[in-house]
Amino acid sequence: MPRSILDAVRAGHWDFEPRPCSQITFKPTEALPGSHEKLEILCERVRSGLPLWHPEDRRYYASR
């Protein structure tokens, strides 16, 4: 079983979904969408096998 989307792609599993996890397993981010900081956080989530998006991630420039 692949641990992350990167492992799944390498193994040819194109229908991979991260295992369900509690939202408290990983923290939401205040980083602006499209910013270098946000991209780094998303990359780390992928490497860790976490879902890409957290429901409480900042989604808009003026949202906070």
Question: pLDDT by residue (tens digit) across 4-15?
Answer: 777 877 888 877
Shortest CA distance to 28 belongs to which of 7, 63, 18? 63
Question: Rounded CA gap, 47 and 59, in Å?
Answer: 22
pTM for this model (two decimals) = 0.66
Only one residue has tokens 């499209």, namely 34
Whether 3 has a pLDDT exceeding 80, the answer reads no
The predicted structure's pLDDT at residue 2: 67
N-terminal to C-terminal alpha carbon distance within the chain: 38
